[in-house]
Structure 1
Amino acid sequence: MNLTGLTIIIFTLFMSPSVWAQSSLQLKVEHYPPLLDMNSPKQGLVYELAEQAFATQRIETEIIYTSKEDILRSVDDLRCATFSYERDKDNSKDWYYSRAIVLRPYIYLKHIDSDIELHDRSDLRKYSLKFTQKEPLYDITSMEELLDHKLDLFSVPLYSAVHYLKNNFTKSDAKNLEFLFSPSIRSENIYLACHKSHPSCFNLIRKFNKGLETIEQNGHRQRIVKKYLSWQ
């Protein structure tokens, strides 16, 4: 399978088909806060949502953090599933995808004292602008440059921005950064996916979708997402 260029967060169901049928899943993931976070009691937004959805179907999960290379080696063994940022065209013929677990929108950050006005994308040319490199040190440094008026705008995923403000900045500094939601940049749905050749894959996706519907209807999903959007 050619995974070149695919942006994914991967977890592995490291077990045989018979164990899937027994409703017990071992998940292998990359550390990618705040979506998957080994330092969080709830292990991050995506895992918390997935765990709750699986729980409604009486499927227990265990999370294990490892390297991307280690996970990718398991993909071709039909023992794995993935959290994927998009329904990748190259793999759509081989994979089943769940409903979207969560939408990850990108935003702009600016200093609250700046007089920046963005009406459309052409306005961006007027300002100094950086885009996330999906590296915490780079992102945090860029946000510090906003606070020091060394940078006008910084584009970063919404959940990442909140995570950094909550864990790496004082409340007074956080209040000096403003979120801009337009003009729109991009957004990524995150899905559960698994290989169609696995005999339990279709049933796993079906149960997971049912679990997502349940936590939406009972309000649990909204409460979890709200927690990851609050930093004050």
Structure 2
Amino acid sequence: MGLTSFQRLCFVFALFTFAFPAQGSMTKITAVNDAWPPYVTRDKAKPGFSVELVTAALHTQGYDTEFLLFPWARGLYEVRNGRIDLITTTWHTNARSEFLLFSEPYFATNVDIMMRKDTFFEYAGPKSLTGKRIASVRKYGYEQWFLDAEDFQRVETTSLVSSLRMLAAERVDIAVGNRFVMLQEMKPLNLNADDFHFYPVPMIRQHIHIAAGKTNPNASEYIQAFNRGLKTIKQNGTFTDLIKKYGLKLPNNITEE
């Protein structure tokens, strides 16, 4: 099913050109994510680790990838219903597995606890969050204990940018997300990193996958192609080069970062 004219008017990444040899006619494929720097950025010249990785992996399998930038919940909805082929930085959850097919994990990330500099508490599991107001992004794949807990108040936002604004305005006590992403997202908001700090132990550790909606008749084909391409770019050095380019650290154990 094709994209609507409204969707086409949304922010679309101009697909950059990799220095790959010509492989004949390429099959077009669409992918979506929200801005999640350094994994997905708004910078066409340096569009993000995940954008470049997914593009490179699928290119080895004959796919030409067009990236779109939507709010997270909207992008997930479009992939779930087969109107966009892939979402590129998703975490696996049991609920999502009912409507998404997941690739092999290609990286790992933490969900960190961010506070204002005048705030500190000892995080020691779910009970230590009692009474806190916590900004979290709607439809993100947090672990079930976080979604089910009733001892603290989850304040749902549409993006990490919204979470950071609420934290800076003292409307919440904590914002949760990947620290590298939040530090990047603070810059356009003119927030000073010295006014905030992170708890040294992450709240959650997650794998990063791409996923396709099960309603998409080509879902299995796309996921298998990515898995093959991921192996190829690990073997040819592209994977390592991208990690270095974006200043990321490949964990010895992929569940840690």
TM-score by length of structure 1 reads: 0.62
> Which residue of structure 1 aligns with residue 168 of structure 2?
144
* Counterparts in 2 of 1:197 and 1:109: CA distance versus 1, 3 Å: closer
Indicate whether 1:118 and 2:123 are aligned.
yes
* Counterparts in 2 of 1:153 and 1:89: CA distance versus 1, 3 Å: closer
Aligned counterparts of 1:73 and 1:152: Cα–Cα separation in 2: 33
> Which residue of structure 1 aligns with residue 30 of structure 2?
27
Aligned counterparts of 1:111 and 1:138: Cα–Cα separation in 2: 15
Aligned counterparts of 1:153 and 1:74: Cα–Cα separation in 2: 30
**Within-5 A mapping of 1:1-232:** 22-29=25-32, 31-34=34-37, 35-57=39-61, 59-65=63-69, 68=74, 72=78, 75=81, 80-83=85-88, 84-86=90-92, 88-91=96-99, 95=101, 97-112=102-117, 114-125=119-130, 128-132=132-136, 133-136=157-160, 138-145=162-169, 152-169=173-190, 173-182=192-201, 184-185=203-204, 187=206, 189-193=208-212, 195=214, 198=217, 201-217=219-235, 218=237, 219-226=240-247
**Distance apart, 1:174 and its partner CA:** 0.7
**Distance apart, 1:106 and its partner CA:** 1.4
* Counterparts in 2 of 1:63 and 1:201: CA distance versus 1, 3 Å: same
Q: Indicate the SS of the match to 1:41.
A: coil
Where in structure 2 are there 5+ consecutive unaligned residues? 1-11, 13-23, 137-156, 250-257
Aligned counterparts of 1:141 and 1:165: Cα–Cα separation in 2: 9
Aligned AA (1:176)? D
> Which residue of structure 2 aligns with residue 17 of structure 1?
none
* Counterparts in 2 of 1:54 and 1:143: CA distance versus 1, 3 Å: same
Are 2:80 and 2:213, in contact at CA under 8 Å, matched by a contact in 1?
A: no
**Distance apart, 1:50 and its partner CA:** 0.6
**Distance apart, 1:160 and its partner CA:** 3.4
**Distance apart, 1:214 and its partner CA:** 3.7
Aligned counterparts of 2:27 and 2:117: Cα–Cα separation in 1: 48
* Counterparts in 2 of 1:196 and 1:227: CA distance versus 1, 3 Å: same
Q: Indicate the SS of the match to 1:106.
A: strand
**Distance apart, 1:195 and its partner CA:** 4.4
**Distance apart, 1:37 and its partner CA:** 4.0
Aligned counterparts of 1:158 and 1:24: Cα–Cα separation in 2: 36
* Counterparts in 2 of 1:211 and 1:220: CA distance versus 1, 3 Å: farther
Q: Indicate the SS of the match to 1:109.
A: strand
Are 1:131 and 1:156, in contact at CA under 8 Å, matched by a contact in 2?
A: no
**Distance apart, 1:153 and its partner CA:** 2.8
Q: Indicate the SS of the match to 2:198.
A: strand
Percent identity between matched residues is 16
* Counterparts in 2 of 1:224 and 1:86: CA distance versus 1, 3 Å: farther
Are 1:33 and 1:160, in contact at CA under 8 Å, matched by a contact in 2?
A: yes
Backbone CA RMSD of aligned residues: 4.0
> Which residue of structure 1 aligns with residue 143 of structure 2?
none
* Counterparts in 2 of 1:181 and 1:214: CA distance versus 1, 3 Å: farther
**Distance apart, 1:154 and its partner CA:** 2.4
